[in-house]
Amino acid sequence: MSRSEEIKHRIVTTFQRRVANPVSLRMPGQVIIETTGRTSGLPRRTPVGGRRVGDAFWLVSEFGFASQYVRNIQADPKVRVRLRGRWHHGTAHLLPEDDARARLKRLPRYNSVAVRAFGTQLLTVRIDLTD
């Protein structure tokens, strides 16, 4: 990651952690991914944007392997996703070979615009839902 990407990452993630995420986590329609903290073992909830297609939920991480929830997925791919107020269990798959920019065109526009604007290391994530 270049120096300018590091600065952008630090600014955006600080804003998300302290302002946007606490508000988003309280919104009933917000999609939430719950991972297991790789060090603490505690549940970690992150608001995300994406789309369910059949038995899979697709999203694009704006900071790729630098995102904390992606690092948690690397340690334990078992996750939960809250869709329309209901929790679903699943297994997350990181897909660096997928064209994340093309994937964003098939995901909800509002979130995709933000991911493109702020993201530096786009990474596609597919969650295979089991219930």
Phi then psi for 42, rounded to 5 degrees? -90, 155
Confidence bin at 6 (pLDDT 50/70/90): confident
47: left (phi over 0), alpha (psi -120 to 50) or beta: beta
- The structure tokens listed for 63 are 């900071």
* pTM score: 0.81
Do the Cβ atoms of 35 and 73 come closer than 8 Å?
Answer: yes
Do the Cβ atoms of 124 and 12 come closer than 8 Å?
Answer: no
11-48 pLDDT, tens digit each: 767 665 665 555 555 555 578 999 999 999 999 999 89
What is the per-residue pLDDT for 7? Answer: 77
